[in-house]
Amino acid sequence: MANKSGKKVTESGPFSDEEIANLIDTFLGIEGPNEKSFRRLYAFIKAYFPPTVVGLENIPDEPTLFIGNHAMFGLDGMILMPTVYQETGRFLRGMADNAWFQTPTGAKMATNGMVLGHPEVCSALMEAGHDLLVFPGGAAEANKTAEEKYSLVWRERYGFVRMAAQHGYNITPFGLVGPDDWWDHAIEGRDILHSRLVKTLQKMDLIGEIREDLMPPLPRGLFNTLIPRPQRSFLAFGEPITVPDYRGKRVSKAIQKSVRGQTEAKVEELVSDMLLLRTQSKHNEGTLRRLLTR
């Protein structure tokens, strides 16, 4: 099968086995972030989205799989990865949607830790002992509606449990509050996708089919512009969730459901805790930040 560009699409996605192998070599060859870039990004984060971080002591010494909630536009990695690196020296490898690596943007993102979200990529990085970051909700959770803010949209995703069990990894849950409030939703993505304009453009063959989970809302930020509001970030890490060691074995559905259920419940608890902490901390905010984020 081929897409409109003529590129072959296999059962594992839009990448050939050779392309996957080349990407793995590229990812394994990146041993750390661009230090200068990360320092600049972290300085910006501290000034504009200052993070309050809770539970760093819960991050285990051994390589781990970080699992948490995904925020609007999937920009939470911009907070999480530089912050964890600056606070602990841990270089997280965030697993991203296929769509990113079908553009030149993917190569740029890879230099600061992003990798293709693919089982073979995950296996290779786990075998090499890297810390991994996965948002089970993926694009659907990043592009959720305003009513779904800070909720988990994990659908029937169990792959992260299987990968952890088959490679002897535990799971470090986290909850992040802040990025979902950078913008309001002027128009929901699904409303844009089903609008008369989009349908007309598709009938005219000016645009192709668009995955519903890839259609973001139309954002409205600071002063009704696209500039994000300077919301403080609240990030909490929970104690690791033990995953049964199933190296070389098939992971039963019961184990997958149990570990996923524990992880989901803990992430929801951490998000709830951070929402409460943000409410309790509002009196400490400066007048200008309160005005710009209300």
Q: Are strands 51-54 and 131-134 parallel, antiparallel or unpaired?
A: unpaired
Question: Which range (18-22, 207-211, 250-254) has the least confidence?
Answer: 207-211
Q: What is the pLDDT of residues 111-129, one digit of tens each?
A: 999 999 999 999 999 999 9
Q: What is the pLDDT of residues 58-100, one digit of tens each?
A: 999 999 999 999 998 888 998 999 999 999 999 999 999 888 8
Sign of torsion over alpha carbons 108, 19, 154, 273? negative
Answer whether residue 5 shows pLDDT above 60: no
pLDDT at position 14 is 85
- Whether residue 199 lies inside any domain: the answer is no
Residues whose CB is less than 8 angstroms from the CB of residue 204 and which lie 6 or more positions away in sequence, other chains included: none
- Whether residue 1 lies inside any domain: the answer is no
pLDDT at position 6 is 41
Report residue 211's pLDDT band, with 50, 70 and 90 as the boundaries: confident
- Whether residue 166 lies inside any domain: the answer is yes
- The position carrying tokens 């993926």 is 138
Q: What is the total count of domains within the chain?
A: 1
Q: Which CATH number characterizes residue 283's domain? A: 3.40.1130
- Whether residue 6 lies inside any domain: the answer is no
pLDDT at position 2 is 40
Query: Which residue range(s) make up the domain with 169?
Result: 17-177+231-293
The angle subtended at Cα 155 by Cα 226 and Cα 166, nearest 5°, is 110
pLDDT at position 213 is 86
Between residues 117 and 12, the one the model is more confident about: 117
Mean pLDDT of 121-144: 96
Between residues 47 and 202, the one the model is more confident about: 47
pLDDT at position 3 is 43
- Whether residue 205 lies inside any domain: the answer is no
Q: What is the pLDDT of residues 151-194, one digit of tens each?
A: 999 999 999 999 999 999 999 999 999 999 999 999 999 899 88
pLDDT at position 266 is 98
pLDDT at position 4 is 40
- Whether residue 131 lies inside any domain: the answer is yes
pLDDT at position 182 is 96
Report residue 1's pLDDT band, with 50, 70 and 90 as the boundaries: very low
- Whether residue 134 lies inside any domain: the answer is yes
- Whether residue 2 lies inside any domain: the answer is no
Mean pLDDT of 229-253: 96
Q: What is the pTM for the complete model shown?
A: 0.91
Between residues 104 and 71, the one the model is more confident about: 71
